[in-house]
Amino acid sequence: DTGVSQDPRHKITKRGQNVTFRCDPISEHNRLYWYRQTLGQGPEFLTYFQNEAQLEKSRLLSDRFSAERPKGSFSTLEIQRTEQGDSAMYLCASRSGGRAEQYFGPGTRLTVT
């Protein structure tokens, strides 16, 4: 069990550019989650996948955000036309069916300049 991994760990981009993050969940975890965390706050839910199906999206996930999990394994989160307000830590988590605990990855820290 290697844990949840995320790539890159840190991304600096200019306003208006597109960025894509990757998450590899714990193997055999069929549920995958994306959260966003800003300084001094707890993580906030963005979206959730069960296998390859995206089953829930938060209102925080504007039209500039899109997430995929094409084969029910890794997931990507893309932000188009980044804004300074998108600067945050983007966290991925996974869990297995029948358990409520979610296990988090190390996060991708996004800085938009």
Partner 1 sequence: QKEVEQDPGPLSVPEGAIVSLNCTYSNSAFQYFMWYRQYSRKGPELLMYTYSSGNKEDGRFTAQVDKSSKYISLFIRDSQPSDSATYLCAMVQGGSEKLVFGKGTKLTVNP
The residues that touch partner 1, with contacts defined as CB under 8 A, are: 4, 6, 31, 33, 35, 40-45, 48, 55-56, 58, 89, 91, 93, 100-107, 109
* Residue 37 or 80 having the CB closest to partner 1: 37
- Sole residue written with tokens 């844990």: 3
* Residue 31 or 68 having the CB closest to partner 1: 31
- Sole residue written with tokens 């296998």: 51
Contact between residue 31 and residue 50 where contact means Cβ atoms under 8 Å apart: yes
* Residue 81 or 94 having the CB closest to partner 1: 94
* Residue 57 or 80 having the CB closest to partner 1: 57
Q: Distance between CA atoms of 59 and 37, rounded to whole angstroms? A: 15
Smallest separation, CB 52 to partner 1 (Å) = 15
Q: Distance between CA atoms of 56 and 59, rounded to whole angstroms? A: 10
Smallest separation, CB 44 to partner 1 (Å) = 7
Smallest separation, CB 53 to partner 1 (Å) = 12
Smallest separation, CB 91 to partner 1 (Å) = 6
Q: Distance between CA atoms of 43 and 93, rounded to whole angstroms? A: 11
Largest CA distance in the chain: 42
